[in-house]
Amino acid sequence: MPEAARVGDTIGHSSVMAGLVAGAVIGSLISAAGGMLSGALFIAGLATSCLGVGVLLIGAAIAVGMAAGYLGDMAR
């Protein structure tokens, strides 16, 4: 088994873990924001369904939810 890393070694450490964590946090925030926006559009669509506009808002809610999921996955 190789030796553990020591101070002064020629092998340097990278910031890969920081990038991984940052990407996971950003992806989670995008997904959460999209989910909240999608839920708000869905509620608005249900509230206005008597006017005929609700179908469009529910469709927009589904589209926003799908887009947020895709963008969240791409950010990770």
- Domain membership of residue 9 (yes or no) is no
Closest listed residue to residue 43, CA positions, set 53, 51, 54, 35: 54
Do residues 39 and 48 touch, judged by C-beta distance below 8 A?
A: no
Q: Output the pLDDT for position 35.
A: 85
- Domain membership of residue 2 (yes or no) is no
Residue 60 binned pLDDT confidence (cut-offs 50, 70, 90): confident
Structurally, how many domains does the chain consist of?
Answer: 1
What residue numbers bound the domain in which 24 lies?
19-75
* Burial group, residue 38, by CB count within 10 angstroms (0-12, 13-18, 19+): buried
- Tell me the per-residue pLDDT of 6-48, one tens digit each, with 9 for 90 and over: 777 776 666 777 888 888 898 888 888 888 888 888 888 777 7
- Domain membership of residue 55 (yes or no) is yes
Q: Output the pLDDT for position 23.
A: 86
- Domain membership of residue 65 (yes or no) is yes
Q: Output the pLDDT for position 12.
A: 63
